[in-house]
Structure 1
Amino acid sequence: MIIQKQYKFYAAHRNEELQDKCRNLHGHRYGIVCHFEVQRTGSYTTLFSEFDDKIGPFLKEYYDHGMLINVSDPLYATLKQHMEIHGDDFKLREFEGPTSVENLAHQLFTEITQMGFDLVRLDVQETDTSVVSYDRNDWERDNEAQVFSKTKPVNAIT
């Protein structure tokens, strides 16, 4: 059986490798839809609050109203220097590669799986018309090929 849960967060980013409008700093209201495989053992499988109690606070702490940034992006060093000089504490969600929606999907899939959930698919909506569907097969294949080995997930186990 599949349980589906939806979450949203706001974040800024840029794709410094591209030579189009997405190279500029901009933001999105990301929508994620988690598809969890659960086993029925009685009148219900899993309380929805079990997902919300872990995933909601995690997204709020590490992603919401933050900036997704590649640590190799020259802007990263500038922001870190600004924070040090001025005492600002920007919420920077560090990636060790481009902050593409594909890399975000891989990173979130990893972190949510580390929470102990059996995530089978994750849909990440970046704009009103653009969604990446990322499933367990994609995640396993990417991990095996180390396609996203440069992403740096936080320890999401709570």
Structure 2
Amino acid sequence: MIIQKQYKFYAAHRNEELTDKCRNLHGHRYGLICHFEVERTGALTTLFGDFDAQIEPHLKEHYDHGMLINKSDPLYETLKEHERRTGERFRFKEFDAPTTVENLAFTLFSEIIEMGFRLSHIEVRETDSSVITYTREDWIADNRDRSRLSGEKPSAVRE
């Protein structure tokens, strides 16, 4: 059985490797739709609140009104230096790769799996007209070949 739950959060990011408008720091109201696989054990399988009790606080603490940032982005060190110099603190969600919606989906999928939930897939909405579907098969492939996250060639293919 599939149970579907929807969430949203606001976050800033940039795609530092691009040369278009997305290289600029900007924000999105991200939408997340989780498709949970559950086993029917009786008349009541799962309370929707069981999902919300873990996922909503996680999104609020780590994502909402924060900045998704690649630790290799030169802007990251600039912002960290600003924090050291001024004592001001930013909410960073640090990535080891570009903050693309694909990498966001990988990260969210991984975190939700770590909470003990079984996902068939998630949908991540970056804008009203731009949504990706990220499946368990995508997650397995990304874990098998981490070069997919950075866009590098797999080590066996490098020249």
| Alignment TM class, shorter chain as reference | over 0.9
Deviation at 1:147, TM superposition (A): 3.5
CA–CA distance in 2 between the matches of 1:37 and 1:44?
14
> Gaps spanning 5+ residues in structure 1: where?
151-158
Is the aligned partner of 1:48 residue 2:48?
yes
TM normalised by structure 1 equals 0.93
For the residue of structure 1 that corresponds to 2:8, the secondary structure is strand
Deviation at 1:146, TM superposition (A): 2.0
Q: Which runs of 4+ in 1 moved over 3 A?
A: 147-150
SS where residue 17 of structure 1 aligns? coil
Q: CA deviation at 1:141?
A: 1.1
Gaps of 5+ in 2: 151-159
SS at match of 1:141: helix
State how far apart, in whole Å, the 1-side matches of 2:141 and 2:74 are.
30
| Structure 1 residues 119 and 96: CA distance shift in structure 2, 3 A | same
Identical pairs, percent: 65
Counterpart code for 1:109: F
TM-score (norm 2): 0.92
Q: 1:23 to 1:62 in 2, by over 3 A?
A: same
Q: How does 1:2-41 map to 2 (within 5 A)?
A: 2-41=2-41
| Equivalent position of 1:139 in the other structure | 139
Structure 1 residue identity aligned to 2:54: K
**Secondary structure at the residue paired with 2:55?**
helix
CA distance in 2, matches of 1:102, 1:36: 19
**Which amino acid in structure 2 is aligned with residue 126 of structure 1?**
E
Partner of 1:81: 81
